[in-house]
Amino acid sequence: MNDGTPSGDTRLRMSRLFPGGKNQKARATAILFVLPAFTAYAVFVLAPLVMSLYYSTLRWDGIGKARFTGLANYATVLTDPDLLSIIGNAFELVLYFTVIPVLLGLAVASAIRGHMAGTFGTLTRTVLFLPQVIPLVAAGIAWSWMFASSGLVNQALTAVGLADWTRGWLGDFDFALPAVGIIGAWVLLGLCTMLLVTGITKIDPSLYEAARLDGARPWHEFRYVTLPGLRQEIGVCITVTVISALASFDIVYIATGGGPGITTMVPGLEIYRLAFAHRQVGLASALAIVLMVLVLIAITPVQWYAREKK
Amino acid sequence: MTAAQPKAWLARLLLALLITVTLLPFLSMFTAALAPSGSYPNGLSWPDEPQWSNFAKAFEAANMGQLLISSTLIVLGVVPISVLAATMAGYGLAKLTGGRNKWIYLVFVAGLTLPFEAVITPLYYEVRAFGLLNTRFAIILPLIGLYMPFSVYWMRAHFLNVPNDLTEAAQLDGATRWKEFWLVQVPLARPAIMSLTILLFLWTWNQFLLPVVLVRDPSLRTMAGALGAFQGQWGTDVPLLCAGSLLILTPTVLLFLAFQRHFVAALLQGSVKG
């Protein structure tokens, strides 16, 4: 993020020495270049964001008169047991969306270090990226079918003699949320694996040689060479997966609609339900702002971890 | 030096497992799609009489022809304008402004982690006020804005790496600047523009939240948005639903297979920078 480009510095000095004139023009040119993007951003992101903040202080059904209620909606979001458990669901999804892909990805990456060349490598890359290319909605439908009563998961359990375990997974109060989590893990696994596999090839092989000469065991090698070397890639994986867990919408909408009960309801879907089905625009907006802040809070330490001494 | 490299067979076994897990849901959908329409097939079993006609039926039921056109129109509305605006802004922010104007860049970057759900409610009222509700513009215009943080970030990162003497030679007025941008900078930026185009295409084609909220008529939505409506309508008919889903994900998969290397590179870099 080096912004002190020579041209920028020079121009800054120049404009101090010669205000107006040619540099005024240069500035106008710069503004013209940035203006289209900034306009689109301001109209469709910044303005709605300000409106979200404003709505969040209202009690409003979206049609009639709105009443100002201060921070009451935030108090509701942070105390209502249902809303709290909905926020909790999002964090539980992080366990599946983030932890499974990152751990499995690390295991695969350290196992296949340097074995991704050739046709087999290309084939692997292609297949592992498929879940990233299809709409999340399609992944949701595919897995709804996998988890259905007569779906593949139950078929496999029966085949290995665990017929007692079979159930309609997405309709089960205890297993629906983990099942949704597995869908997310499936979608993100390939991306994380490929990021880590690519990252590990950038680690200097002599580090592994040195570790081995020092008599390092495979675990030590992983702990002291692989993990530090992959710091940045792991940071990226965690960032991407945590955001998609906390802000999940598509998969849950398709696979469970938030049910049974509210066991799989997540903030994204609840915002949609509150605003457009229950006409509680104020509360929906407060939840939206809280969700945005939670994402930022969750991401910030990961960014620090990834940036620290490269 | 016996264990100089991790064992190749272990690596291949792990990868084979991963590939299997990734492909199983598709396979299971495929066999289910071939079962007699309206029946309850089993997870993974080849039907006695594969009903290939299910795909034709689903094509009709999902109004696929119309959907392809609709998605294409939306992509054409979003991607070229977004890429152009972001390329200009990325150039402007990397090359034309000094430290004083860094806040503009920071305002863009602040939007990088914004969940779309955080602005979807006001977007609904805004789009309605513009009189665009239930038109494709209700998806196109907001998406252009929502893509700006990433796109501008992406293009600026590219232009920061372009040596300065190229531009320094042409320290001239706006019109010349504009020429230089098109004749020198844009051709140089082609790889970055290509990756951005691929990413924006995928995200637009697969966009679900905006179509669901802002456009009621499925035939005006993106493929993914229409799939939601399709599931609502045919959710109980597993073979038809599976056939329809497979059809709907075919276009992107075909494009992906055709431009495999570009897609993989774009997705990898895209997440590293994003």
Q: At what angle do helices B8-33 and B238-258 cross, to 10 degrees?
A: 130
Q: Nearest by CB to A44, which of B25, B88, B146?
A: B146
Report which of B73, B62, B70, B66 is spatially closest to residue B228, judged by C-alpha positions: B62
CA B145 – CA A46 distance, rounded (Å): 9
Per-residue model confidence (pLDDT) at position B20:
93
Return the sign of the alpha-carbon dihedral for residues B25, B27, B30, B36: negative
Give the range among B5-14, B77-86, B262-271 with minimum mean pLDDT.
B5-14
Residue bearing the bigger pLDDT, B96 or B33? B33
Q: Do A3 and B167 touch (CB under 8 A)?
A: no
**A32 touches B: beta carbon within 8 Å:** yes
Put simply, whether B254 touches A (Cβ < 8 Å) is no
Whether the CB-CB separation of A266 and A249 falls below 8 Å is answered with yes
User: With bands split at pLDDT 50, 70 and 90, how would you rate the model's confidence at B4?
Assistant: very low
Q: What confidence category does residue B228 fall into, taking pLDDT thresholds of 50, 70 and 90?
A: confident
For residue A163, the model assigns a pLDDT of 84
A300 touches chain B (CB under 8 A): no
The span from the CA of A189 to the CA of A143, in Å, is 15
Residues 181-220, chain B, touching A (beta carbon < 8 A): 181, 202, 205-206, 208-209, 212-213
Say yes or no for a CB contact (<8 Å) between A111 and B177.
no
Which of chain B's residues have a Cβ under 8 Å away from the Cβ of A36? 84-85, 88-89
pTM of the model: 0.88
pLDDT value for A70: 86
Q: Identify which of A116, A119, A256, A113 has the alpha carbon closest to the alpha carbon of residue A184.
A: A256
Q: What does the pLDDT read at residue A1?
A: 39
The Cα A236–Cα B155 span in angstroms is: 19
What pLDDT shows up at residue B259?
85
What architecture (CATH level 2) is domain A77-307?
A: Orthogonal Bundle (1.10)
Q: Which residues pair with A59 in a beta bridge?
A: A67
- For chain B, give every domain's residue range: 58-273
CA nearest B105: which of A49, A26, A34?
Answer: A34
Which residues of A, range 61-120, sit inside 8 Å of B by Cβ?
62, 104, 107-108, 110-115, 120
Ordered per-residue pLDDT tens for chain A, 310 residues: 344 344 444 444 444 444 445 566 777 788 889 999 999 999 999 999 999 999 999 988 888 888 898 899 999 999 999 999 999 999 999 999 999 999 999 988 888 776 666 777 788 888 988 999 999 999 999 999 899 888 899 888 988 988 888 888 999 999 999 999 999 999 999 889 988 988 888 888 888 888 888 888 888 888 888 888 898 889 999 999 999 999 999 999 999 998 898 999 999 999 999 999 999 999 999 999 999 999 999 999 988 888 764 4
C-alpha A282: how far from its chain's center? 25
Which residues in chain A touch residue B214, judged by CB atoms under 8 angstroms apart? none
Which residue in the block uniquely carries the two structure tokens 């802002």? B214
For chain A, what are the domain ranges? 6-55, 77-307
B233 inside 8 A of chain A by CB: no
- This model of the complex carries an ipTM of 0.88
Q: Which superfamily does CATH assign the domain made up of B58-273 to?
A: MetI-like (1.10.3720.10)
Look at residue A308 in the predicted model and tell me its pLDDT. 60
Q: What is the pLDDT of residues B151-164, one digit of tens each?
A: 999 999 999 888 87
| pLDDT of res. A7 | 47
- Cα A226 to Cα A109: distance, rounded to the nearest angstrom: 9
- Are the C-beta atoms of A85 and A79 separated by less than 8 Å? no
